[in-house]
Chain A
């Protein structure tokens, strides 16, 4: 019985730590995530598939982080990264599909 209780308490501490950790990103977390998102944006751009708002979202993320709201800044960076990665996927997919649309 004691061991079960100990396990439950340990789990509660662990998940609490995770939630607290996730809700309070550090500047280091932000910089790392920003660099990854920006790299995805650049790669999409090199392939000719950067989306219109990605750079704007990254600028907004930087401003938000500078203002001290790292949680919101991380959300923006995640959105930008998703856009950059989607642009890369779009470029690869279109490389194979565009010819099928040519008027014959």
Chain B
């Protein structure tokens, strides 16, 4: 009898483990979104794209005032100029992207089957530049952020639609991003999830921690702290350093896979970049 119970317990354990290991990206996404909709039941689903301002009403009013004359406006104009300025060979960014590069932001990042890696919009821009004989932009701030701000603006209102193709390499990239998100790092021993899953809605010092759902919808962002517009990978880098972990390279494999996972979690929400944040 004891052996029977032991076998049953072992069976249950392995059944549990295999369920854990076999959760699909779509199952993850549904669980992820349900978690936040339950935790913040007063927040309408569509409002999660506003990050911390979906749960912080006093700050929301200040933010809405800022959005009336947004500090990223100049970056938008500069981004449009960059977008429309031909390369030395006469071609433009429009030649590199579907639909001439307009209204495509919501489809990034995607897994490129030929290259066998996650392609973010920033990486695609630099691949376009290099293919046309231009030097690549730096990845955290400046022209890359201005250009993606403009391209993001043309995607406002479009639904985030990150696809994970039926390819083991794509699934592996997604899983690596997922692992990164839930892994504790640095001297302070924090995972991204510690602040933005369990800790969301709570405080670190005076800062209210935002829900992770919708986190990538509004990038690039003009951060008042930066006094400039910056990319998502700049923010990833800052988060890692805040927990006293060595940051990874912007547009390196780690952050691209993280962006792949995190953006997939927001599939179904609207894209609303660029944004402004504290």
Contact = CB atoms under 8 A, between A and B. Distances in A.
A90 B185 contact: yes
Given A101-B193, A102-B28, A51 B186 contact: yes
B14 interface: no
Interface stretch (B3-11, B43-51, B162-170, B175-183): B175-183
Contact of B191 (A55, A83, A98): A98
Interface string A84-104: 001000100010011101111
B246 interface: yes
Given A51-B246, A52-B245, A102 B187 contact: no
The bracket for how many chain A residues form the interface is 20 to 34
A25 interface: no
Contact of A102 (B23, B186, B248): B23
B35 interface: yes
Interface string A34-65: 00000000000100111111110000000000
A101 B246 contact: no
Interface residues of B, number: 27
Contact of A103 (B185, B197, B241, B248): B197
Contacts of A53: 187, 244
Contacts of B189: 90
Contacts of B191: 98, 101
A41 to B, nearest CB: 9
Contact of A51 (B23, B31, B245): B245
Nearest to A45: B246
Max chain A Cβ within 10 angstroms of own Cβ: one of B28, B178, B182? B182
A52 B187 contact: yes
Interface in B170-213: 178-179, 182-187, 189, 191, 193, 197
Contacts of B23: 102, 104
B73 interface: no
B182 A102 contact: yes
A102 B178 CA distance: 8
A50 B249 CA distance: 13
B182 A98 contact: yes
B80 interface: no
B86 to A, nearest CB: 41
A52 B160 CA distance: 33
A103 B186 contact: no
Contacts of A94: 183-185
Nearest to B30: A103
B31 A98 contact: no
B201 to A, nearest CB: 15
Contacts of A99: 20-21, 182
Contacts of A54: 246
With a 10 A CB-CB cut-off, give which of B31, B186, B246, B254 has the most chain A CB atoms. B246
Contacts of B246: 45, 50-52, 54-55
B32 interface: yes
A102 B244 CA distance: 23
Nearest to A54: B246
A33 to B, nearest CB: 21
B246 to A, nearest CB: 4
Q: Which 6 A-B pairs have the closest CB atoms?
A: A50-B246, A52-B244, A98-B182, A101-B182, A98-B183, A94-B183
7 contacts: A49-B185, A51-B186, A52-B186, A52-B246, A90-B184, A99-B21, A101-B193
